Structure 1
Amino acid sequence: MDQVIVGIDVSKSRLDVHILLGAQGPGECEAVPRDGAGIAALAERLGALGATLVGVEATGGFETVVAAGLAGAGLPVVVVNPRQIRAFAQALGRRAKTDPIDAEMIARFLAATRPEPRALPDASGRLLADLVARRRQIVSMIAAERQRQSRLTEPRVRRSILRLITALEKELNEVDREIDDQVRGSPIWQAQEDLLRSVPGIGPATARTLLADLPELGRLDRRQIASLAGLAPWTRQSGTWRGKAFIGGGRASVRTALFVAAMVGARYNPTLKAFHARLIAAGKPKMVALIAVARKLLTILNAIVRDQKPWQVA
């Protein structure tokens, strides 16, 4: 029996759907409203067709309700990166870009790569992720205002900046309180945070970023989790030529949080400090050593969550 693979391009008011009957089979196109009735009708239709894989392109948050509605109906849903879809389309020579074409490219990308569906976060998980993202935005705004304050000398402008910084700091305290209530209101999250914070170098901000933005922690092997965080090196070689390996991609918020934790861990965590010192003694550049520390820290955290055992000095 042919597999039924579905690509969905999400816009503010409409879903463009492309249904493939088999990996190389013909496609069917349709459009439905992006509302409760449209999503419910689409879920019923795809369920009746026996959809084996449904891909929804990440579109600035518009995809969340769609993915949750389809997954809630028991469909195997994956959220795909729009950059990967565009690169895939260009590789196929499809230069035109419309919503129906994007939906087709999503379906054909799924047929070619077969990504594994993963459980989507529930409502409380999405709320925590939104709160943590909002905290990052406020911290960024405070930093930007302080930069402006340091460059300006006009008293009236400086007072305006100071008032805004005060308001942002108040809002930051409020968001921190809401995040704290959210984590402490869930015994499971509280236990996970306690496990993560047992590692020297992991503070509340890093632990909660990992809870919100890396729910796969403890469920994947060390290579897969490093790739998700953007800490897996890319090998570059051609024939006898070998270039430097680079990191990139993945979840930027997780990678940033781990870098901060790695800088602290390289000074105060005995295991990471010794590891960092060995790399520096071996002649590794400081940034390369720090990346390695961040990757090792992530491996440690992944094992701790997997085994549900707190940090112990080796």
Structure 2
Amino acid sequence: MHQHNTNYVGIDISKSKFDARSTESSKGVVYQYTPDGMKQFIQLLQQIQPKLICLEATGGLERKLVALLHKHKFPVAVVNPRQIRDFARAKNRLAKTDQIDANTIMEFAQTMNPRITEPLIQAQQKMRDFTARRGQVCKQLLQERNRLGTAADKQVAKLINQSIRFMEKQLKAIEKELKQLIDADEESRKRSKILQSVPGIAGTTAALLISELPELGSLNRKQISRLVGVAPTNRDSGTLRGKRTIGGGRVRVRNGLYMPTVTALNHNPVISTFYKRLVKNGKPKMVALVAAMRKLLIILNTMVKEGKQWETKVINF
């Protein structure tokens, strides 16, 4: 990767266009989010050879551009939008336009030098798309089942049941595809086997971790906790003391770890014992649950790092 200068680029991206601003220029440039627009942007980058290109995670809109930047070997950092908002507030920047946002992202990259986002292999990218779709279908399925419980008209209930059956069928197809994607890739298959050896971790959670958290196994316990957003942060201000909260990070990963942690409270002796000890010592149940989630994540991170399954690790936790 080309990192021989100090030129940083910030990108604010939307569905039809993206605004780019570099430290080398006094004003930004707007590109259409099309193959031609991205080609023009790549040509500019090849001329200025930036040290880092930074943009926000925007729920998937950024993926095409990020994949193209990785293809051309440019260093890219995809950051949580909350970090950019906090940075803008710290600079007392209240006005908000696409060009202002691009400039703020550029300044954030220059000041904070965020961690480079490593490219996903094709199998990981496809798994990410399918795990995202699975989350959407599960949410819709829950909504339809709730509607069925309040449907007074038989014909309406029949229509809702048809919708439920369709989504259940789609869910099975998604889970089958995820399994095939994992089985087809040696590294993913190895990781999945390690992850699923832990009581509470099923195939869909393993697929989520493989696709959404490729850093698993390469970071230390504090780094992985912060990345997912389960590291407690002090909130001491004024008369408030001792308050610690979590937030930011990979929201989908954090949400995806919630139910496996709940399951682990009953089926994983290490997590269960840890949780019960915290509750016995006076911790609120939700605080203890978050701590158990963090412990589960750290265990998974260590196991992947060492390439060892649960049976060989349990005595060390």
The reply to whether TM is greater than 0.5 is yes
Match of 1:165 in 2: 164
Q: Aligned in 2, Cα 1:104/1:249: closer, same or farther, shift over 3 Å?
A: same
Match of 1:75 in 2: 74
> Aligned partners of 1:63 and 1:300: how far apart in 2?
31
Match of 1:47 in 2: 46
Q: Letter of the aligned partner of 1:14 in structure 2?
A: K
> Aligned partners of 1:293 and 1:51: how far apart in 2?
41
Per-residue deviation, 1:10? 1.6
Secondary structure at the aligned position of 1:89 is classed as helix
User: Are residue 5 (structure 1) and residue 8 (structure 2) matched?
Assistant: yes
> Aligned partners of 1:13 and 1:262: how far apart in 2?
39
> Aligned partners of 1:82 and 1:290: how far apart in 2?
26
Q: Aligned in 2, Cα 1:105/1:198: closer, same or farther, shift over 3 Å?
A: same
Q: Letter of the aligned partner of 1:38 in structure 2?
A: G
C-alpha distance after superposition, 1:82-125 (max 9, x if no partner): 33323322332332222211111110111111102121213321
Match of 1:134 in 2: 133
Structure 1 residues without counterparts, runs of 5 or longer: none
Secondary structure at the aligned position of 2:234 is classed as coil
> Aligned partners of 1:144 and 1:240: how far apart in 2?
41
Q: Mean Cα displacement is larger for which, 171-180 or 91-100?
A: 91-100
Match of 1:14 in 2: 17
C-alpha distance after superposition, 1:110-146 (max 9, x if no partner): 1111102121213321111010010111111111111
> Aligned partners of 1:270 and 1:57: how far apart in 2?
39
Structure 1 segments, 4+ long, off by >3 Å, are 238-241
Retained in 2: the 8 A contact 1:20–1:28? Answer: no
> Aligned partners of 1:117 and 1:253: how far apart in 2?
20
> Aligned partners of 1:132 and 1:185: how far apart in 2?
16
Q: Aligned in 2, Cα 1:41/1:190: closer, same or farther, shift over 3 Å?
A: same
- TM-score w.r.t. structure 1 length? 0.92
- TM-score w.r.t. structure 2 length? 0.91
Retained in 2: the 8 A contact 1:125–1:212? Answer: yes
Match of 2:291 in 1: 292
Match of 1:183 in 2: 182
Per-residue deviation, 1:215? 1.2
Q: Aligned in 2, Cα 1:285/1:59: closer, same or farther, shift over 3 Å?
A: closer
Match of 1:63 in 2: 62
| 1:1-314 mapped onto 2 (5 Å cutoff) | 3-21=6-24, 27-238=26-237, 242-311=241-310, 312=312, 313-314=314-315
Q: Mean Cα displacement is larger for which, 136-145 or 276-285?
A: 276-285
Q: Aligned in 2, Cα 1:287/1:14: closer, same or farther, shift over 3 Å?
A: closer
Q: Aligned in 2, Cα 1:242/1:118: closer, same or farther, shift over 3 Å?
A: same
C-alpha distance after superposition, 1:227-252 (max 9, x if no partner): 12221111122478513211122222
Q: Letter of the aligned partner of 1:200 in structure 2?
A: P
> Aligned partners of 2:123 and 2:70: how far apart in 1?
16
Q: Letter of the aligned partner of 1:175 in structure 2?
A: I
Q: Aligned in 2, Cα 1:86/1:239: closer, same or farther, shift over 3 Å?
A: closer
C-alpha distance after superposition, 1:263-287 (max 9, x if no partner): 2222221222222222222222222
> Aligned partners of 1:269 and 1:292: how far apart in 2?
15
Retained in 1: the 8 A contact 2:80–2:249? Answer: no
Secondary structure at the aligned position of 2:204 is classed as helix
Q: Mean Cα displacement is larger for which, 142-151 or 266-275?
A: 266-275
Q: Aligned in 2, Cα 1:147/1:296: closer, same or farther, shift over 3 Å?
A: same
Secondary structure at the aligned position of 2:167 is classed as helix
Structure 2 residues without counterparts, runs of 5 or longer: none
> Aligned partners of 2:156 and 2:45: how far apart in 1?
57
Per-residue deviation, 1:54? 0.7
> Aligned partners of 1:62 and 1:296: how far apart in 2?
32
Retained in 1: the 8 A contact 2:232–2:246? Answer: yes
For this pair of structures, how many residues does the alignment match? Answer: 310
Secondary structure at the aligned position of 1:37 is classed as helix
Q: Aligned in 2, Cα 1:73/1:103: closer, same or farther, shift over 3 Å?
A: same
Q: Mean Cα displacement is larger for which, 76-85 or 135-144?
A: 76-85
Query: Identity over the aligned pairs, expressed in percent?
Result: 39
